[in-house]
Amino acid sequence: MSRFQRIGFILFLIGVSLILAGVILLMMASLVSDNTASTGGIIIVGPIPIIIGSGRHGPSLILLAAVFTVFCLVSFLLMRRRVESTENDITRNLHY
């Protein structure tokens, strides 16, 4: 296993661990709270966003999730453009 594969695997494990810790914390918080939980989120399936939310703070949580989703998509597109331009530069330099 190369160095980059090892780093990628470690980052993957850290990400899964953080998600698992978040789920456990949410479950523990729901057990000790007084049933006034609010939820909100966006699930993107292909080009179709599925928006869910409930509770007193549901609309603001949906708005926060929408802003975060747009930020993530823009970041992804900018990074993709940067990688493609770098790949094109490398390809041009190989031909000379």
Measured between alpha carbons, how far is 67 from 40 in angstroms, rounded to an integer?
12
**Per-residue pLDDT at 96:** 60
User: Over the chain, what is the mean pLDDT?
Assistant: 83
- How much is the pLDDT for 21? 94
Strands (E), the chain: 39-45, 48-54
pTM: 0.53
Checking if the pLDDT of 16 tops 80, the result is yes
Alpha-carbon distance of 54 to 30, in angstroms, equals 15
Q: How far is CA 68 from CA 10, 54, 58, in A?
A: 25, 18, 15
How many CB atoms within 10 Å of residue 65? Answer: 19
Average pLDDT over residues 22-32: 84
Ranges of each domain in the chain: 1-35, 38-96
pLDDT band at 3 (very low <50, low <70, confident <90, very high): confident
